[in-house]
Structure 1
């Protein structure tokens, strides 16, 4: 963003300079040319006026010769022609009597008006002497255009220097403006990434940048404070509920165990049923607390070796699979890594493998596949059990949403929450040939990279 803002301002300054400096340079150059020609014409008329006194009034040629000497001293060349285009006086430099210049003098005599010509870096002015209707001669003055070109070059040079200085100043201002605007935005972005990674106490600075950015930072801080309060409150409630529910359930189970030893067979059967319900209730409470912990967790992602974790969990569950006579295997691409919260992948796999083993029939198969899929890591848990209907699949990630669940119905809700909290996705698909496939797409790079 810094570069875009700076380049935008710099482009605007460049366009404004081009629209201002280039026309100004052309205008000043044209004014220099007009002034140069007007001054040359004035000098030519002066020579013609002095020469007229000699040719028309038959006065001494001394003033005319003195003026020609001054003209040559000033760097110009001049010559005076009579009515027959013959040279009667000239400066020692021969430029004003060259053949091309003499033809311009003849044209001025013929037309009885001033002629100008610029060629080869020299401006020639032929001015008729006397009345325009009855010219008695022509005064020709040649002047080098080098001073004119030098002045025009100086004008362009100064304007280019001014434009360059202005451009550099505009670049400095654009960079300063870009930093002023973007630096606090970068700070808010860093704070947002840290908040997403689990640093709940992070806050963005609110004293820098434009008013809109300062308001954005203040709004972000308000949101972060509320999130921190909600998460801490949620965690406190979970801890309290965990203690308040598990303690009486454990005490109730112990009392039922004690009673079971002192009752007859019929009462013992009833107590056994009550103990099973208490065990089921304990599992339900544990599942609810696990979902609540997952929903309140804000994971700080770490690098996780997916292939190693998959192999470890498969090894841990193999005894259970062997007891149920289910084939459990994995096929994971080596070196695959994902960014997840610590121990989140283990908890996800435990829930998925437990569900798959529960669903698989005796002699069935459960397989875990893992590998890269574009910018993500794809992990699939495949079983060949009875599968799930489309309606059940649509509701499976909600707490108690699956009416076909054999257990508490919370395992897939925990999986979905843990995966999405880490920036991944989870979905259910039918296994070809029958069964259910859980597909997870996990982030292969840290958030914000």
Structure 2
């Protein structure tokens, strides 16, 4: 913005200078040409009178000296002819004496007692010259004519000097304006730069350096003060939400666990006819516990600002497939991995594992025995999790990512938070997820991730080994906590 403000100031100054200096230079050039023409005409008239007097007295020998002195003083060329147009003297010495010049238009006009001042091209040198041709007359008696020629460079050089002076003055003014504009632009944009830094800090989750509200234009000082108040309020709200997510887990899980234990302790003391209702009640308590767990997990995700990092999709996929294979075998479901290796993709730390776990938990919950769940790697770092279950209607696929939404024909006890968590993780990693109908029935969860450049790709090595029992236990908990809603 500083550069744009400077450019606007300089453009305005340049426009003003152009409007002022160009007409001024043009007027000066025209005036200089007019003064030069009048000066040459005056000198030519005076010389013509002196030459006419010498011709009248018959003192022709004085004419060369008169012409040479004037030419030496001014750099002009002086030509004198008699009344018949024959050359009497030429200060340049390029034309022989006695040469008939009466055929030249300006000489012929002067011999008719007509003065002539005009710019023309010199036939000998090819340069533009200003020629003033005056008759040497006394009354109506013409005794000769005199022509004075000056090179136009004498006036054009002065015009060039004035244009150079105007250009130098304009450059000095532009330099002064640039210095002033830079100082002014920096003063104006200083609060904006502070706001930009503060906004970046706030986007990172913590405003360490609030913008200075005591410098800059009044409007920007007011904006900085309002931003600081808003940012402070947002930080308090975020800290309160983060504190709730951190503390509510323990505060909510403990009463729910206690309630479930108390309900289970009622079983020996209840009539056999009430056992079915007790089982349903315990099931609802368990579903409430899973819902609380999902809400807290989603809150923690939303409160965490994490930058995507290169993650080896093939290694994570192989690890998660190994972990879920035993759980799928218990339900007589086959788990396969297909497609060519994809390499590294951008994902926030730990997101890829959670995405695959949630999608596999959804697919495994609805897959009938004897079917197959396919983890397919498509070109472009795309991942497809395809099941052979009942699938979803187009309307249900549109609403599947809404929180707490469950299909009307759902026969399981999901919480409606699994797919929202998956979408949040995919979006935070810079990717996208869609649900499509799988060929032959079932659902195709399509995850599009950003591939890492070839120079950043990781080797297709296996991830570090983990305790398989702990991994299976975590996968089993994930299968119970989230579902396809």
TM-score, normalised to structure 2, is 0.75
Q: Provide, for residues 375-405 of structure 1, a one-character-per-residue CA deviation record: whole Å limited to 9, x for no partner.
A: xx64432222111223322322222212344
Q: Which residue of 1 aligns with 2:404?
A: 400
| 2:343 maps to 1:335 | yes
1:85: Cα distance to partner?
A: 2.8
Q: Provide, for residues 307-326 of structure 1, a one-character-per-residue CA deviation record: whole Å limited to 9, x for no partner.
A: 33333322222221121122
Distance 1:218 1:351, change over 3 A: farther
Q: Which residue of 2 aligns with 1:73?
A: 72
TM-score, normalised to structure 1, is 0.80
Distance 1:312 1:46, change over 3 A: same
| 2:176 maps to 1:147 | no
Q: Which moved more, 1:224-233 or 1:90-99?
A: 90-99
Q: Which residue of 2 aligns with 1:82?
A: 82
Give the match's secondary structure for 2:416.
coil
In 2, the alpha carbon distance for the partners of 1:69 and 1:275 equals: 129
Q: How does 1:1-20 map to 2 (within 5 A)?
A: 17=17, 20=20
The gaps in structure 1 that reach 5 residues or longer are: none
Q: Which moved more, 1:251-260 or 1:391-400?
A: 251-260
Q: Provide, for residues 274-310 of structure 1, a one-character-per-residue CA deviation record: whole Å limited to 9, x for no partner.
A: 5444333322322232233334444344443333333
Q: Which moved more, 1:174-183 or 1:151-160?
A: 174-183
Q: Provide, for residues 158-183 of structure 1, a one-character-per-residue CA deviation record: whole Å limited to 9, x for no partner.
A: 33434444555566666666666666
| 2:333 maps to 1:326 | yes
Distance 1:189 1:311, change over 3 A: farther
Q: Provide, for residues 198-256 of structure 1, a one-character-per-residue CA deviation record: whole Å limited to 9, x for no partner.
A: 34556445566655555554444344323222221122233443333222222233444
In 2, the alpha carbon distance for the partners of 1:100 and 1:186 equals: 83
Q: Which residue of 1 aligns with 2:32?
A: 32
Distance 1:237 1:227, change over 3 A: same
Distance 1:218 1:70, change over 3 A: same
1:125: Cα distance to partner?
A: 1.9
Distance 1:181 1:379, change over 3 A: farther
In 2, the alpha carbon distance for the partners of 1:200 and 1:117 equals: 77
Contact 2:342 2:379 in 1 (8 A): no
Q: Which residue of 2 aligns with 1:435?
A: 442
1:364: Cα distance to partner?
A: 1.9
Q: Which residue of 2 aligns with 1:245?
A: 252
Distance 1:195 1:351, change over 3 A: farther
Distance 1:286 1:112, change over 3 A: closer
Contact 1:201 1:224 in 2 (8 A): no
Contact 1:387 1:436 in 2 (8 A): yes
Which of 279, 284, 288 matches 2:286? 279
CA RMSD of aligned residues (A): 3.9
Q: How does 1:357-396 map to 2 (within 5 A)?
A: 357-370=364-377, 373=380, 378-396=382-400
Distance 1:115 1:6, change over 3 A: closer
In 1, the alpha carbon distance for the partners of 2:247 and 2:48 equals: 116
